Amino acid sequence: MGDTERLICILGMHRSGTSCVTGSLQQAGLFLGNCHTWNPHNKKGNRENQDFVDLHDDVLAANDGAWDRPPRKAVWSSAQLERAAELLRDNRSESPLGFKDPRTLLVLEGWKRVFPEIQFVGVVRHPNAVAQSLQKRSDMPAEQALTLWYAYNRVLLKEYRKKSFPILCFDEDEALFHRKLDRVAGQLGLNNGRGEQRFYDGQLKTSNSNLQQMERALPWKVKRLYKQILKRCL
């Protein structure tokens, strides 16, 4: 990619609002290429480019892992690194180019090698909300979901500590979330042309009830990590 071109990646755990953030930034001018605009679990689409998802699945599988079985370390082969570079070349018609896939947090080092200037936007959601949503979508036990939440968000915080980037909280009320999204779009130099209708739809947001009542039920390390990330949020 040319020197003036940019790559923006939205980072976050599954069921944490990454689709909402990505769709909102797309409305503001972020180019996503050929992305999903509908699926059974997200009526507005998860905004993922399947070619990126397939690459991430291949990297995880090559390291004896999967999205729900994070490997200790994800090592990219030279062929996979070239495949990533080719994806960027294939989608370089517009800039800035963006992509989103929660799996990115498990394979992040490869992208940093392919495009060292990559920019990040993060999003976090309450662990119990994520667990409830994963139970509804994938029939995943709460204990497994919280373990996954910790594995993904631990990387998010680690990356932020290396070089800060904007992190949004999907637990905030809609108006405040919108204001912060607009702020992020401005920081990224997007035109903020969201149009008359917001991508965010509160009716599509699941599993956000009684979260504070369940706070005490969280494993201590999950609760601590959530609080640590909240301190870094906009």
Summarised one tens digit per residue, pLDDT across range 76-101 is: 999 999 999 999 999 887 779 999 99
Rounded to an integer, the average pLDDT of 143-151 is 97
Comparing CA positions, the residue from 152, 147, 113 lying closest to residue 219 is: 147
Mean pLDDT of 154-163: 98
In a domain, 1, yes or no: no
Share of the chain above pLDDT 70, in %: 83
The pLDDT assigned to 216 comes to 65
| Cβ atoms within 10 Å of 43's Cβ, excluding its own | 11
Residue 61: inside a domain, yes or no? yes
Q: What is the rounded average pLDDT of the residues 170-187?
A: 94
Average pLDDT over residues 215-229: 92
Q: CA 14 to CA 106: how far, in whole Å?
A: 12
Asked if pLDDT for residue 40 goes beyond 90, the answer is: no
Total number of domains constituting the chain? 1
What's the pLDDT band for 20 if we cut at 50, 70, 90?
Answer: very high
Of 76-80, 94-98, 137-141, 189-193, the poorest mean pLDDT is in: 189-193
pLDDT at residue number 197: 52
Give backbone dihedrals phi and psi of 191, rounded to 5 degrees, phi first: -80, -10
Print the SS3 string covering 57-100: HHHHHHCCCECCECCCCCCCCHHHHHHHHHHHHHCCCCCCEEEE
For residue 85, the model assigns a pLDDT of 96
202 in a structural domain:
yes
198 falls in which pLDDT band (50, 70, 90)? low
Q: Name which of 38-42, 148-152, 155-159, 221-225 the model is least confident about.
A: 38-42
Domain assignment present for 204: yes
Q: Cβ-count burial of 105 within 10 angstroms (0-12 exposed, 13-18 middle, 19+ buried)?
A: buried
Compute the distance between CA of residue 19 and CA of residue 1 in angstroms, rounded to an integer.
Answer: 25
Segment 41-66, tens digit of pLDDT: 444 556 799 999 999 999 999 999 99
Q: Which residue has the higher pLDDT, 2 or 9?
A: 9
Q: What pLDDT band is residue 199 in, cutting at 50, 70 and 90?
A: low
This prediction has a pTM of: 0.89
Question: Is the pLDDT at 4 greater than 50, yes or no?
Answer: no
Q: Is the pLDDT of residue 120 over 50?
A: yes
Range of the domain at 176: 7-232
- CATH number of the domain enclosing 92: 3.40.50.300
Q: How would you write 124-186 as a 3-class SS string?
A: ECCHHHHHHHHHHHHCCCHHHHHHHHHHHHHHHHHHHHHCCCCEEECCCCHHHHHHHHHHHHH
Confirm if 207 and 27 have CB atoms less than 8 A apart: no
In this structure, is residue 2 part of a structural domain?
no
Residue 228 domain-assigned (yes or no): yes
